[in-house]
Chains A and B, each alone.
Chain A
Amino acid sequence: GKEKASQLFYEGSAFDPTAFAEHLLSFMGLNRLEDEEDDHQNEATRDGYLPKDAWHRLAKHTEGCFSTAPSFHYMMGSFHAEPPPPKQRVE
């Protein structure tokens, strides 16, 4: 065990995008239709659905990776100041 681990450490472990995707699905709260379908070799990954806030959840948890500037939004000043047309009374 220990020997293998240090060897791994030396050579570096490989990154597997499929495993990554599987981990992400669990992290985002995938509701699996089949119970306990854990082997990621299986292309049955189509099964199950993500909750509505899945991508929000991921964005929230990875926010710390980004040093994004907040942006400033406004309404006043985005269009020409113009008085409304004279009001016709139709009542």
Chain B
Amino acid sequence: MSRQLGDGHRRFLQTMMGVYIIDELKAKALYQYCCETFKMQCAADRLDEFIETINLKLQPMFMQVRKGMSEENGHQYYALVNTAETDITRMTSDYADNELELFRKTMDLIVGSEKGTASSTDILNSTDTMTSKKLKKSETEHLLTRLVQDKWLCEKRGEYTLSTRCIIEMEPYIRSMYQDQVKMCHICHNVAFQCQICENPSCGIKIHNPCVARYFKGKMEPQCPACDDFWPHEIPEVRGLRSQSKK
């Protein structure tokens, strides 16, 4: 099915280029807006089909509008991502080489940590082992601010985590580069950083916090879905069902 795109598709794509990532509810509103503005047919449940039409055309350019879950609130998001690394994609100049090196080191720290976080102190310390031009303290702090602004990292009280945008775009990369360290969520099978871990040492599966909330909702005696051991963690509430009301 190689349908032609209309201006509505193009407006949707252009908006995605500008905003990088949007939640499902906003994506639906944008879809509706694009259809109405450009007089296209619009059916409320056809968003994914609409995006698939765009993706078919983006595929040759190694681009994609990809869907993924926020580890924080469990909502679905859409992000426009690059899907391949080539000589050309590496020419990008949003960040300098040493800034990219530090971003990678930050990813190493986050992925390698128990809680999926890295403290600003650890990140600052990791500049000691940089092979490209070493970043000064103030430069590192400035870079971290930019990475948060550009939605590659999230920050809470000096602790950095990978953002939803980052996880959506980098998931295949993380899976292949950190094979030995990264674990998948037992429920949704995506990479898991902000999660709970089964305390049975022979099991140790991970479940995202929002996936925990949804999976154990209303269960009196929560048991690990893999080993049946008692699930000892506090079960979080299912959060803000603004858009996920259908399931």
Q: Is A4 among interface residues, defined by CB-CB distance under 8 A?
A: no
CB distance from A40 to the nearest CB of B (A): 37
With A74-B92, A77-B84 already in contact, the answer to whether A84 and B170 are too (CB < 8 A) is no
How many chain A residues have a CB neighbour from B under 8 Å? 17
Q: Is A62 among interface residues, defined by CB-CB distance under 8 A?
A: no
Stretch at the interface among B13-21, B32-40, B135-143, B234-242: B13-21
With A83-B178, A84-B112, A84-B177 already in contact, the answer to whether A75 and B152 are too (CB < 8 A) is yes
Partner of B85, one of A73, A77, A84, A87: A77
Stretch at the interface among B42-50, B100-108, B196-204: B100-108
With A75-B166, A83-B178 already in contact, the answer to whether A70 and B82 are too (CB < 8 A) is no
B90 touches A77 (CB 8 A): yes
A81 touches B14 (CB 8 A): no
Q: 1/0 contact trace for B50-71 toward A, CB 8 Å? A: 0000000000001100000000
A72 to B81, CA, bound (A): 9
A84 touches B108 (CB 8 A): yes
B177 touches A76 (CB 8 A): no
A73 to B150, CA, bound (A): 9
Neighbouring B residues of A79 by C-beta, 8 Å: 85, 90, 97, 100-101, 103-104
Q: Is A78 among interface residues, defined by CB-CB distance under 8 A?
A: yes
How many chain B residues have a CB neighbour from A under 8 Å? 39
With A84-B111, A84-B178 already in contact, the answer to whether A76 and B18 are too (CB < 8 A) is no
Indicate the member of A70, A82, A85 with the most B CB atoms within 10 Å. Answer: A70
Partner of B94, one of A78, A84, A85: A78
A87 to B89, CA, bound (A): 29
Partner of A76, one of B20, B82, B108, B178: B82
Q: 1/0 contact trace for A54-85 toward B, CB 8 Å? A: 00000000000000001111111111111111
With A78-B95, A82-B104, A84-B177 already in contact, the answer to whether A70 and B85 are too (CB < 8 A) is no
Neighbouring A residues of B83 by C-beta, 8 Å: 76-77
CB distance from A82 to the nearest CB of B (A): 7
Neighbouring A residues of B230 by C-beta, 8 Å: none
Q: Which residues of B contact A (CB under 8 A)?
A: 14-15, 17-18, 20, 62-63, 80-86, 89-90, 92, 94-95, 97, 100-101, 103-104, 107-108, 111-112, 150, 152, 166, 169-170, 172-173, 176-178, 181
- Top 4 A-B pairs, shortest CB-CB distance: A77-B89, A74-B82, A77-B85, A70-B17
Q: List 29 A-B contacts (CB under 8 A).
A: A70-B15, A71-B17, A72-B17, A72-B80, A72-B82, A73-B17, A73-B94, A74-B82, A74-B92, A74-B169, A75-B152, A75-B169, A76-B81, A77-B90, A77-B92, A78-B94, A78-B100, A79-B85, A79-B97, A79-B101, A79-B104, A80-B90, A81-B85, A82-B104, A82-B177, A84-B108, A84-B178, A87-B112, A87-B181
